[in-house]
Structure 1
């Protein structure tokens, strides 16, 4: 159990794997680059440099890069920030929906986009919209909870380490005092405190 000074400390990675943080940063930069390149492909002569001389080919490549870049940046946020498993799964599901939209776009553009007997522009847009909205919502909740964790508001942050895995739990000062007294009294309540904190860390 940490003392109050340790509990209010702000370790650099807050119990997260540094490799995950660096991978998230790299993924975010890659996603942002993909979006910028996608825009440049249809607004500058860059398309000629990459061999996409036909306007439809350039638009298809640009749409694909931009479509991949946005969910990549969403994934990067939950990788870099402390996030719950629910938030990570939510962004993952949203990303899969975006990939479905990109797959439909690859199949439909340009021949089955807005002309012809079978048009798939609406289906593509809806699949991507649902995925992007879902990812954005869980990214928003991760960012909101991160701000809450970093805003004292009388809360104490405890870092639990078990079998090499670290997790952070927020408790109120009253809860912290109760846990600390239970551990100090050594009245057989230490294991119960540990189990309770581990359950809260899983939320």
Structure 2
């Protein structure tokens, strides 16, 4: 419950652990870097530096880097944003499908891609398409709900955490402002506000 004061006092961004924000940002940057390197592998002599000496090897390396980079960026977004458990799980499942697609690509390319008796191009593409679509949808909902929470039109949703259990309380804008003023003033009202919010969460 001590996170409530941090959230109001500005010591945490939206009540988030700064380490989680930094980890998400790092994951997103690594994902973007993997996509950029994947593009450079097939367009510059970088492939030779990385040991992909022939065209097929360079294409396989580029596809693998790009395939891993995109879900990493999606995961980075939901780690940084104050997202719900449903959104976190949705992006994680989408990323898992992407990994299945990358694994199939490793098996299929180039010998079983579009030629041969048992090609895997369709299965690989569908697994990756399903994964990216699912992950993108939940990233989009996380971003949309984040903007809504930061632009309250009448009510504000507060997330309470106590002993590892999360609960959500909806308060009016006036109540939110009253809680903010009371906690920032540190006039001994913090415990009373905490008890009031916890009682409302139990209703």
- Normalising by the residue count of structure 2, what TM-score does the alignment of the two structures yield? 0.80
Aligned to 2:96: 96
Matched, 1:77 2:77: yes
**Any conservation in 2 of the 1:154–1:172 contact (CA below 8 Å)?**
yes
RMSD: 3.0
Structure 1 residue 168, shift from structure 2 partner: 6.5
Unaligned stretches of 5+ residues in structure 1:
197-203
The aligned runs of 1:131-142 (5 Å cut-off) are 131-142=131-142
The aligned runs of 1:174-189 (5 Å cut-off) are none
**Any conservation in 1 of the 2:169–2:197 contact (CA below 8 Å)?**
no
**Any conservation in 1 of the 2:7–2:14 contact (CA below 8 Å)?**
no
The aligned runs of 1:90-169 (5 Å cut-off) are 90-158=90-158, 160-163=160-163, 169=169
Figure out how many residues of one structure are paired with residues of the other and give that number: 185
Unaligned stretches of 5+ residues in structure 2:
180-190
Structure 1 residue 189, shift from structure 2 partner: 8.0
Distance in 2 (alpha carbons) for counterparts of 1:190 and 1:156: 13
**Any conservation in 2 of the 1:149–1:170 contact (CA below 8 Å)?**
no
Distance in 2 (alpha carbons) for counterparts of 1:50 and 1:84: 39
Structure 1 residue 191, shift from structure 2 partner: 5.8
Structure 1 stretch displaced more, 110-119 or 151-160: 151-160
SS of aligned partner of 2:31: helix
For each residue in 1:45-98, what CA deviation from the matched residue of structure 2 results, as whole angstroms up to 9, or x when unmatched? Answer: 110111111100000000000000000000000000000000000000001100
For each residue in 1:129-153, what CA deviation from the matched residue of structure 2 results, as whole angstroms up to 9, or x when unmatched? Answer: 0000000000000000000011121
Structure 1 residue 33, shift from structure 2 partner: 0.3
Distance in 1 (alpha carbons) for counterparts of 2:166 and 2:197: 19
